[in-house]
Copies of this chain bind each other. A is one copy, B any other.
Amino acid sequence: MAEIKSPLGDADRKVAGEALQGALIDLLDLSLTAKQAHWNLIGRNFKVVHEHLDEVVDLARASADDVAERAVAIGVNPDGRSRTVADRTQLPQLDPGYLGDDKVVAQIADLLGQIIARFRERVAATDEPDPVTQDLLIGITAELEKQHWMFQAQV
Protein backbone atom coordinates (compact mmCIF):
# COMPACT_ATOMS: atom_id res chain seq x y z
CA MET A 1 0.00 0.00 0.00
CA ALA A 2 1.26 3.44 -0.94
CA GLU A 3 2.35 6.07 1.55
CA ILE A 4 1.38 9.73 1.18
CA LYS A 5 3.83 11.73 -0.97
CA SER A 6 4.71 14.98 0.77
CA PRO A 7 4.63 18.32 -1.06
CA LEU A 8 7.60 19.21 1.16
CA GLY A 9 11.24 18.17 1.15
CA ASP A 10 12.46 15.95 3.99
CA ALA A 11 13.91 18.66 6.20
CA ASP A 12 10.90 20.95 5.92
CA ARG A 13 8.56 18.06 6.47
CA LYS A 14 10.40 17.11 9.66
CA VAL A 15 10.08 20.61 11.12
CA ALA A 16 6.44 21.00 10.15
CA GLY A 17 5.63 17.48 11.32
CA GLU A 18 7.08 18.07 14.76
CA ALA A 19 5.21 21.32 15.15
CA LEU A 20 1.95 19.62 14.20
CA GLN A 21 2.50 16.59 16.45
CA GLY A 22 3.29 18.89 19.38
CA ALA A 23 0.18 20.93 18.68
CA LEU A 24 -1.91 17.76 18.51
CA ILE A 25 -0.85 16.64 21.99
CA ASP A 26 -1.57 20.10 23.42
CA LEU A 27 -5.01 20.22 21.84
CA LEU A 28 -6.12 16.68 22.69
CA ASP A 29 -5.16 17.07 26.33
CA LEU A 30 -6.81 20.47 26.41
CA SER A 31 -10.04 18.84 25.23
CA LEU A 32 -9.85 16.16 27.95
CA THR A 33 -8.91 18.67 30.64
CA ALA A 34 -11.70 21.09 29.79
CA LYS A 35 -14.24 18.25 29.79
CA GLN A 36 -12.97 17.08 33.19
CA ALA A 37 -13.54 20.57 34.57
CA HIS A 38 -16.91 20.82 32.78
CA TRP A 39 -18.10 17.73 34.66
CA ASN A 40 -16.65 18.23 38.14
CA LEU A 41 -17.25 21.95 38.47
CA ILE A 42 -19.00 23.52 41.47
CA GLY A 43 -19.50 27.08 42.60
CA ARG A 44 -21.74 30.09 42.23
CA ASN A 45 -20.79 30.62 38.59
CA PHE A 46 -21.28 26.96 37.70
CA LYS A 47 -23.70 27.43 34.78
CA VAL A 48 -21.64 30.02 32.89
CA VAL A 49 -18.27 28.35 33.38
CA HIS A 50 -19.75 24.92 32.64
CA GLU A 51 -20.93 26.16 29.24
CA HIS A 52 -17.81 28.24 28.58
CA LEU A 53 -15.65 25.15 29.04
CA ASP A 54 -17.56 23.39 26.28
CA GLU A 55 -16.61 26.20 23.89
CA VAL A 56 -12.99 25.38 24.72
CA VAL A 57 -13.66 21.68 24.12
CA ASP A 58 -15.19 22.43 20.72
CA LEU A 59 -12.24 24.61 19.76
CA ALA A 60 -9.71 22.02 20.93
CA ARG A 61 -11.42 19.15 19.10
CA ALA A 62 -11.88 20.98 15.81
CA SER A 63 -8.31 22.30 15.90
CA ALA A 64 -6.89 18.87 16.73
CA ASP A 65 -8.66 17.44 13.71
CA ASP A 66 -7.29 20.14 11.42
CA VAL A 67 -3.79 19.71 12.80
CA ALA A 68 -3.76 15.93 12.47
CA GLU A 69 -5.17 16.00 8.93
CA ARG A 70 -2.57 18.60 7.98
CA ALA A 71 0.15 16.27 9.34
CA VAL A 72 -0.93 13.34 7.22
CA ALA A 73 -1.39 15.64 4.21
CA ILE A 74 2.35 16.37 4.38
CA GLY A 75 3.20 12.71 4.86
CA VAL A 76 3.65 12.63 8.62
CA ASN A 77 1.63 10.22 10.80
CA PRO A 78 -0.09 12.01 13.69
CA ASP A 79 -0.20 10.10 16.96
CA GLY A 80 -3.17 10.88 19.18
CA ARG A 81 -3.51 7.62 21.11
CA SER A 82 -4.33 7.84 24.81
CA ARG A 83 -0.96 6.47 25.90
CA THR A 84 0.89 8.98 23.71
CA VAL A 85 -1.20 11.88 24.98
CA ALA A 86 -0.67 10.90 28.61
CA ASP A 87 3.11 10.42 28.22
CA ARG A 88 3.92 13.50 26.18
CA THR A 89 1.54 16.12 27.44
CA GLN A 90 3.11 19.16 29.11
CA LEU A 91 -0.17 20.37 30.60
CA PRO A 92 -0.49 20.46 34.38
CA GLN A 93 -3.16 17.89 35.37
CA LEU A 94 -6.29 18.83 37.32
CA ASP A 95 -6.93 17.36 40.76
CA PRO A 96 -9.57 14.63 40.98
CA GLY A 97 -12.95 15.39 42.56
CA TYR A 98 -14.95 18.62 42.74
CA LEU A 99 -13.32 21.74 41.31
CA GLY A 100 -14.31 25.23 42.48
CA ASP A 101 -15.27 27.64 39.70
CA ASP A 102 -12.76 30.40 40.52
CA LYS A 103 -9.90 27.96 40.65
CA VAL A 104 -10.93 26.35 37.37
CA VAL A 105 -11.06 29.72 35.63
CA ALA A 106 -7.55 30.54 36.87
CA GLN A 107 -6.19 27.13 35.89
CA ILE A 108 -7.62 27.22 32.39
CA ALA A 109 -6.27 30.74 31.90
CA ASP A 110 -2.83 29.58 33.05
CA LEU A 111 -2.90 26.45 30.93
CA LEU A 112 -3.97 28.38 27.81
CA GLY A 113 -1.07 30.76 28.42
CA GLN A 114 1.36 27.84 28.37
CA ILE A 115 -0.12 26.32 25.21
CA ILE A 116 -0.04 29.70 23.43
CA ALA A 117 3.66 30.11 24.19
CA ARG A 118 4.34 26.78 22.48
CA PHE A 119 2.08 27.64 19.54
CA ARG A 120 3.96 30.91 18.98
CA GLU A 121 7.23 28.91 18.81
CA ARG A 122 5.63 26.59 16.26
CA VAL A 123 4.42 29.56 14.20
CA ALA A 124 7.97 30.92 14.13
CA ALA A 125 9.48 27.51 13.34
CA THR A 126 7.25 26.77 10.35
CA ASP A 127 7.56 30.17 8.62
CA GLU A 128 10.21 29.04 6.17
CA PRO A 129 9.56 25.29 5.95
CA ASP A 130 5.83 25.45 5.22
CA PRO A 131 3.73 28.62 5.10
CA VAL A 132 0.59 26.49 4.68
CA THR A 133 1.15 24.79 8.02
CA GLN A 134 2.10 28.12 9.55
CA ASP A 135 -1.16 29.68 8.38
CA LEU A 136 -3.14 26.92 10.09
CA LEU A 137 -1.18 27.37 13.33
CA ILE A 138 -1.68 31.16 13.22
CA GLY A 139 -5.41 30.66 12.91
CA ILE A 140 -5.55 28.34 15.92
CA THR A 141 -3.31 30.66 17.97
CA ALA A 142 -5.73 33.52 17.33
CA GLU A 143 -8.60 31.47 18.73
CA LEU A 144 -6.60 30.27 21.73
CA GLU A 145 -5.56 33.84 22.55
CA LYS A 146 -9.17 34.97 22.37
CA GLN A 147 -10.15 32.29 24.91
CA HIS A 148 -7.08 33.19 26.97
CA TRP A 149 -8.29 36.78 27.20
CA MET A 150 -11.81 35.74 28.17
CA PHE A 151 -10.67 33.44 30.98
CA GLN A 152 -8.18 36.01 32.28
CA ALA A 153 -10.91 38.65 32.27
CA GLN A 154 -12.80 36.57 34.83
CA VAL A 155 -9.93 36.05 37.25
Instruction: State the A residues within 8 Å of B (CB).
Output: 1-5, 7, 28-29, 32-33, 35-36, 39-50, 52, 61, 64-65, 68-74, 77-83, 85-87, 89, 93-94, 96-98, 100, 102, 113, 116-117, 120, 123, 127, 131-132, 134-136, 138-139, 141-142, 145-146, 148-150, 152-155
Contact = CB atoms under 8 A, between A and B. Distances in A.
A73 B146 contact: yes
Protomer copies: 12
29 contacts: A1-B43, A1-B100, A2-B42, A4-B42, A4-B152, A7-B120, A29-B82, A32-B81, A32-B85, A35-B64, A35-B65, A36-B81, A39-B71, A39-B78, A41-B153, A43-B154, A46-B150, A46-B154, A48-B48, A69-B146, A69-B149, A73-B148, A74-B145, A81-B96, A82-B82, A82-B86, A86-B87, A132-B138, A132-B142
